[in-house]
Protein backbone atom coordinates (compact mmCIF):
# COMPACT_ATOMS: atom_id res chain seq x y z
CA UNK A 1 0.00 0.00 0.00
CA UNK A 2 2.82 2.33 0.91
CA UNK A 3 4.42 2.29 -2.49
CA UNK A 4 1.10 2.74 -4.27
CA UNK A 5 0.30 5.67 -2.01
CA UNK A 6 3.71 7.19 -2.68
CA UNK A 7 3.48 6.68 -6.41
CA UNK A 8 -0.03 8.12 -6.53
CA UNK A 9 0.87 11.11 -4.39
CA UNK A 10 3.93 12.12 -6.39
CA UNK A 11 2.15 11.47 -9.65
CA UNK A 12 -0.66 13.83 -8.64
CA UNK A 13 1.56 16.45 -7.08
CA UNK A 14 3.48 16.81 -10.29
CA UNK A 15 0.34 17.19 -12.38
CA UNK A 16 -0.61 20.67 -13.54
CA UNK A 17 -4.04 20.21 -11.96
CA UNK A 18 -2.63 20.15 -8.48
CA UNK A 19 -0.37 23.11 -9.20
CA UNK A 20 -3.23 25.14 -10.65
CA UNK A 21 -5.39 24.27 -7.67
CA UNK A 22 -2.70 25.34 -5.21
CA UNK A 23 -2.06 28.56 -7.09
CA UNK A 24 -5.75 29.35 -7.23
CA UNK A 25 -6.05 29.06 -3.46
CA UNK A 26 -2.86 30.97 -2.94
CA UNK A 27 -3.93 33.89 -5.12
CA UNK A 28 -7.51 34.14 -3.92
CA UNK A 29 -6.60 33.79 -0.27
CA UNK A 30 -3.79 36.35 -0.45
CA UNK A 31 -5.95 38.79 -2.39
CA UNK A 32 -8.86 38.53 0.03
CA UNK A 33 -6.75 38.80 3.16
CA UNK A 34 -4.63 41.59 1.74
CA UNK A 35 -7.32 43.79 0.21
CA UNK A 36 -10.19 43.30 2.62
CA UNK A 37 -10.54 46.02 5.22
CA UNK A 38 -12.54 43.80 7.54
CA UNK A 39 -10.78 40.53 8.40
CA UNK A 40 -13.99 38.85 9.45
CA UNK A 41 -15.55 39.59 6.05
CA UNK A 42 -12.45 38.18 4.36
CA UNK A 43 -12.89 34.95 6.26
CA UNK A 44 -16.56 34.83 5.25
CA UNK A 45 -15.59 35.20 1.59
CA UNK A 46 -12.85 32.60 1.94
CA UNK A 47 -15.43 30.33 3.46
CA UNK A 48 -17.61 30.64 0.37
CA UNK A 49 -14.63 29.78 -1.82
CA UNK A 50 -13.65 26.77 0.26
CA UNK A 51 -17.21 25.46 0.44
CA UNK A 52 -17.72 25.95 -3.27
CA UNK A 53 -14.40 24.86 -4.72
CA UNK A 54 -12.99 22.17 -2.44
CA UNK A 55 -15.75 19.57 -2.97
CA UNK A 56 -15.97 20.35 -6.68
CA UNK A 57 -12.26 19.98 -7.30
CA UNK A 58 -11.99 16.89 -5.12
CA UNK A 59 -14.77 15.22 -7.07
CA UNK A 60 -13.63 16.24 -10.55
CA UNK A 61 -9.93 15.73 -10.05
CA UNK A 62 -10.59 12.36 -8.43
CA UNK A 63 -12.80 11.25 -11.29
CA UNK A 64 -10.36 12.40 -13.97
CA UNK A 65 -7.44 10.73 -12.25
CA UNK A 66 -9.10 7.38 -11.74
CA UNK A 67 -10.50 7.18 -15.26
CA UNK A 68 -7.04 8.01 -16.58
CA UNK A 69 -5.45 5.28 -14.50
CA UNK A 70 -8.05 2.69 -15.41
CA UNK A 71 -5.66 0.68 -17.63
CA UNK A 72 -2.83 0.98 -15.19
CA UNK A 73 -5.13 -0.27 -12.46
CA UNK A 74 -5.89 -3.40 -14.49
CA UNK A 75 -2.20 -3.98 -15.02
CA UNK A 76 -1.36 -3.56 -11.36
CA UNK A 77 -4.23 -5.67 -10.13
CA UNK A 78 -3.06 -8.58 -12.31
CA UNK A 79 0.02 -8.62 -10.08
CA UNK A 80 -0.05 -10.11 -6.59
CA UNK A 81 -1.28 -6.93 -4.92
CA UNK A 82 -4.11 -6.80 -2.44
CA UNK A 83 -7.07 -4.89 -3.82
CA UNK A 84 -7.66 -3.14 -0.50
CA UNK A 85 -4.11 -1.91 -0.55
CA UNK A 86 -4.46 -0.61 -4.08
CA UNK A 87 -7.70 1.30 -3.53
CA UNK A 88 -6.77 2.60 -0.13
CA UNK A 89 -3.40 3.71 -1.45
CA UNK A 90 -5.10 5.51 -4.31
CA UNK A 91 -7.60 7.21 -2.03
CA UNK A 92 -4.93 8.31 0.39
CA UNK A 93 -2.69 9.51 -2.43
CA UNK A 94 -5.45 11.61 -3.96
CA UNK A 95 -6.72 13.10 -0.71
CA UNK A 96 -3.24 13.77 0.63
CA UNK A 97 -2.22 15.63 -2.51
CA UNK A 98 -5.41 17.72 -2.39
CA UNK A 99 -4.97 18.42 1.30
CA UNK A 100 -1.37 19.46 0.71
CA UNK A 101 -2.50 21.84 -2.03
CA UNK A 102 -5.06 23.29 0.34
CA UNK A 103 -2.60 23.64 3.19
CA UNK A 104 0.06 25.27 1.04
CA UNK A 105 -2.35 27.45 -0.94
CA UNK A 106 -4.11 28.60 2.21
CA UNK A 107 -1.52 28.28 4.87
CA UNK A 108 1.13 30.55 3.39
CA UNK A 109 -1.16 33.55 2.79
CA UNK A 110 -2.70 33.01 6.21
CA UNK A 111 0.71 33.12 7.84
CA UNK A 112 1.81 36.11 5.80
CA UNK A 113 -1.36 38.25 5.80
CA UNK A 114 -3.49 36.77 8.57
CA UNK A 115 -3.60 38.45 11.95
CA UNK A 116 -3.30 36.72 15.24
CA UNK A 117 -6.97 37.26 16.11
CA UNK A 118 -8.02 35.31 13.05
CA UNK A 119 -6.17 32.18 14.09
CA UNK A 120 -9.25 30.33 15.27
CA UNK A 121 -11.43 31.27 12.31
CA UNK A 122 -8.78 30.35 9.77
CA UNK A 123 -8.04 27.14 11.67
CA UNK A 124 -11.68 26.05 11.49
CA UNK A 125 -11.76 27.09 7.84
CA UNK A 126 -8.75 24.97 6.90
CA UNK A 127 -9.96 22.07 9.03
CA UNK A 128 -13.33 22.03 7.28
CA UNK A 129 -11.55 22.25 3.91
CA UNK A 130 -9.54 19.16 4.83
CA UNK A 131 -12.68 17.33 5.97
CA UNK A 132 -14.52 18.18 2.77
CA UNK A 133 -11.57 16.98 0.70
CA UNK A 134 -11.52 13.65 2.54
CA UNK A 135 -15.27 13.19 2.07
CA UNK A 136 -15.50 14.12 -1.57
CA UNK A 137 -12.37 12.39 -2.87
CA UNK A 138 -13.70 9.14 -1.44
CA UNK A 139 -16.96 9.82 -3.19
CA UNK A 140 -15.13 10.42 -6.47
CA UNK A 141 -13.37 7.05 -6.26
CA UNK A 142 -16.63 5.33 -5.47
CA UNK A 143 -18.37 6.91 -8.45
CA UNK A 144 -15.66 5.80 -10.89
CA UNK A 145 -15.85 2.25 -9.62
CA UNK A 146 -19.60 2.10 -10.03
CA UNK A 147 -19.64 3.68 -13.48
CA UNK A 148 -17.67 2.25 -16.36
CA UNK A 149 -19.12 4.97 -18.57
CA UNK A 150 -17.04 8.11 -18.08
CA UNK A 151 -19.75 10.51 -19.13
CA UNK A 152 -22.11 8.97 -16.62
CA UNK A 153 -19.44 9.14 -13.96
CA UNK A 154 -18.88 12.85 -14.55
CA UNK A 155 -22.59 13.44 -14.60
CA UNK A 156 -23.09 11.79 -11.26
CA UNK A 157 -20.17 13.69 -9.78
CA UNK A 158 -21.59 17.04 -10.85
CA UNK A 159 -24.99 15.98 -9.60
CA UNK A 160 -23.57 14.94 -6.23
CA UNK A 161 -21.83 18.28 -5.89
CA UNK A 162 -24.98 20.17 -6.89
CA UNK A 163 -26.99 18.18 -4.42
CA UNK A 164 -24.78 18.94 -1.46
CA UNK A 165 -24.05 22.54 -2.43
CA UNK A 166 -27.42 23.77 -3.58
CA UNK A 167 -30.32 21.32 -3.79
CA UNK A 168 -30.01 20.14 -0.20
CA UNK A 169 -30.27 23.70 1.07
CA UNK A 170 -33.27 24.28 -1.16
CA UNK A 171 -35.05 21.27 0.30
CA UNK A 172 -34.00 22.37 3.76
CA UNK A 173 -35.55 25.79 3.21
CA UNK A 174 -38.77 24.30 1.87
CA UNK A 175 -38.98 22.03 4.90
CA UNK A 176 -38.40 24.99 7.21
CA UNK A 177 -41.26 26.84 5.56
CA UNK A 178 -43.60 23.87 5.68
CA UNK A 179 -43.05 23.17 9.33
CA UNK A 180 -42.71 26.78 10.38
CA UNK A 181 -45.40 26.36 13.02
CA UNK A 182 -43.39 23.74 14.90
CA UNK A 183 -40.25 24.20 16.95
CA UNK A 184 -37.56 23.64 14.36
CA UNK A 185 -34.27 23.83 16.26
CA UNK A 186 -33.70 20.07 16.55
CA UNK A 187 -34.70 19.48 12.96
CA UNK A 188 -32.50 22.28 11.71
CA UNK A 189 -29.63 20.97 13.76
CA UNK A 190 -30.02 17.44 12.39
CA UNK A 191 -30.39 18.68 8.82
CA UNK A 192 -27.27 20.79 9.14
CA UNK A 193 -25.15 18.03 10.64
CA UNK A 194 -26.19 15.54 7.98
CA UNK A 195 -24.74 17.60 5.13
CA UNK A 196 -20.95 17.98 5.39
CA UNK A 197 -21.00 21.24 3.45
CA UNK A 198 -23.69 22.78 5.64
CA UNK A 199 -21.94 21.54 8.72
CA UNK A 200 -18.68 23.20 7.69
CA UNK A 201 -20.47 26.41 6.80
CA UNK A 202 -22.27 26.64 10.13
CA UNK A 203 -19.10 25.74 12.05
CA UNK A 204 -17.25 28.60 10.38
CA UNK A 205 -20.17 31.03 10.73
CA UNK A 206 -20.30 30.33 14.44
CA UNK A 207 -16.65 31.29 14.68
CA UNK A 208 -17.26 34.61 12.94
CA UNK A 209 -18.93 37.55 14.61
CA UNK A 210 -21.61 37.21 11.93
CA UNK A 211 -23.02 34.58 14.25
CA UNK A 212 -24.61 37.35 16.31
CA UNK A 213 -27.08 37.75 13.44
CA UNK A 214 -28.25 34.17 13.62
CA UNK A 215 -30.94 34.89 16.18
CA UNK A 216 -32.58 32.32 18.40
CA UNK A 217 -31.72 29.28 16.27
CA UNK A 218 -28.14 30.49 16.07
CA UNK A 219 -27.98 30.77 19.83
CA UNK A 220 -29.23 27.22 20.28
CA UNK A 221 -26.67 26.06 17.69
CA UNK A 222 -23.87 27.81 19.51
CA UNK A 223 -25.00 26.13 22.69
CA UNK A 224 -25.01 22.74 21.01
CA UNK A 225 -21.68 23.02 19.23
CA UNK A 226 -20.08 24.46 22.33
CA UNK A 227 -20.88 21.27 24.23
CA UNK A 228 -18.95 18.01 24.08
CA UNK A 229 -22.00 16.21 22.69
CA UNK A 230 -22.15 18.69 19.85
CA UNK A 231 -18.48 18.28 19.09
CA UNK A 232 -18.60 14.50 19.03
CA UNK A 233 -21.88 14.30 17.12
CA UNK A 234 -20.57 16.58 14.37
CA UNK A 235 -17.25 14.77 14.32
CA UNK A 236 -19.15 11.49 14.08
CA UNK A 237 -21.21 12.77 11.18
CA UNK A 238 -18.09 13.81 9.27
CA UNK A 239 -16.45 10.48 10.03
CA UNK A 240 -19.52 8.69 8.69
CA UNK A 241 -19.27 10.71 5.50
CA UNK A 242 -15.62 9.76 5.15
CA UNK A 243 -15.75 6.11 6.12
CA UNK A 244 -19.04 4.95 4.58
CA UNK A 245 -17.96 5.76 0.99
CA UNK A 246 -14.55 4.31 1.78
CA UNK A 247 -16.09 1.11 3.06
CA UNK A 248 -18.39 0.89 0.04
CA UNK A 249 -15.39 1.55 -2.17
CA UNK A 250 -13.35 -1.28 -0.68
CA UNK A 251 -16.31 -3.62 -0.85
CA UNK A 252 -17.00 -2.81 -4.46
CA UNK A 253 -13.29 -2.93 -5.29
CA UNK A 254 -12.96 -6.41 -3.88
CA UNK A 255 -15.86 -7.78 -5.85
CA UNK A 256 -15.49 -5.80 -9.05
CA UNK A 257 -14.68 -7.72 -12.19
CA UNK A 258 -12.07 -5.74 -14.09
Partner 1 sequence: MKKAAKFFHGTKPLNLSRMKFLAVVFCSIVALFAHGANIEVCPSCEIKSLRDALKVSQPFDVINIKSGVYIDHAIELTMPLTLIGEKGSVLDGGDQGEILTLHADSIIIKGLTFRNVGLSYTKDWAGISSDRVKGCRIENNTFEKTFFGIYLRKSEDCVVSGNYMDGEAEQEMTSGNGIHFWYCKNMLVENNQVLRHRDGIYFEFVKHSIVKNNLSKNNVRYGLHFMFSDNDDYLNNTFEDNGSGVAVMYSNFIKMNNNRFIENWGPSSYGLLLKEIKDGEIKGNEFYRNTTAVFGEGAMRMDISENVFTYNGWAIKLLSSCMENTVTHNDFISNSFSVFTNASRSYNSFDENFWSEYSGYDLDKDGIGDIPHLPVSLFTFIVEKCEPALLLMRSNFIGLLEIAEKAAPAITPEALVDNKPRMKPLWQ
Q: How far is the CB of 106 from partner 1 (least distance, A)?
A: 18
Q: Which residues of 72-103 are buried (b: 16+ CB within 10 A; e: fewer)?
A: ebeebbeeeeebeebbbbbbbbbbbbbbbbbb
Residue 79, helix vs strand vs coil: coil
66-95: which residues touch partner 1 (CB under 8 A)?
A: none
Does 217 participate in binding partner 1 (rule CB under 8 A)?
yes
When the beta carbons of 180 and 255 are compared against partner 1, the nearer one is 180
Does 205 participate in binding partner 1 (rule CB under 8 A)?
yes
When the beta carbons of 2 and 215 are compared against partner 1, the nearer one is 215
Does 216 participate in binding partner 1 (rule CB under 8 A)?
yes
Please give the Cα distance from 189 to 197 (Å, whole number): 13
Residue among 192, 241, 245, 250 that touches partner 1 (CB under 8 A): 192
Q: Count the Cβ atoms, other than its own, within 10 Å of residue 149.
A: 9
Does 212 participate in binding partner 1 (rule CB under 8 A)?
yes
> Could you give the dihedral angle defined by the CA atoms of residues 155, 161, 164 and 169, in that order, rounded to the nearest 10 degrees?
-90
Does 229 participate in binding partner 1 (rule CB under 8 A)?
no
Please give the Cα distance from 55 to 162 (Å, whole number): 10
When the beta carbons of 58 and 96 are compared against partner 1, the nearer one is 58
Please give the Cα distance from 238 to 232 (Å, whole number): 10
When the beta carbons of 122 and 250 are compared against partner 1, the nearer one is 122
Does 201 participate in binding partner 1 (rule CB under 8 A)?
yes
Does 237 participate in binding partner 1 (rule CB under 8 A)?
no
Residue among 118, 202, 203, 242 that touches partner 1 (CB under 8 A): 202
Please give the Cα distance from 209 to 136 (Å, whole number): 29
Give the residue from 134, 100, 155 showing the smallest Cα distance to 237. Answer: 134
Residue among 188, 193, 242, 250 that touches partner 1 (CB under 8 A): 188
Please give the Cα distance from 195 to 148 (Å, whole number): 27
Please give the Cα distance from 137 to 173 (Å, whole number): 27
Site string for partner 1, 125-164 (x = CB under 8 A): ----------------------------------------
Based on C-alpha coordinates, what's the Rg of the chain?
A: 19
Interface ranges with partner 1 (CB under 8 A): 38, 41, 44, 47-48, 51-52, 165-167, 169-170, 172-173, 176-177, 180, 184-185, 188, 192, 198, 201-202, 205, 209-210, 212-219, 221
Amino acid sequence: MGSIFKYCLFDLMRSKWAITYTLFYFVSCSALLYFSNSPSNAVASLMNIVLFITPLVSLLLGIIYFYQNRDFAELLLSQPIKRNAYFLGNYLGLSTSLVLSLLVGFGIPCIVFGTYELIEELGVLILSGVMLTLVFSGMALLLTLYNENRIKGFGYAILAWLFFAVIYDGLFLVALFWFNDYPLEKFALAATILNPMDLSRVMILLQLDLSALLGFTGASFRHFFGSYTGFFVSLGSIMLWIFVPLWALLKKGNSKDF
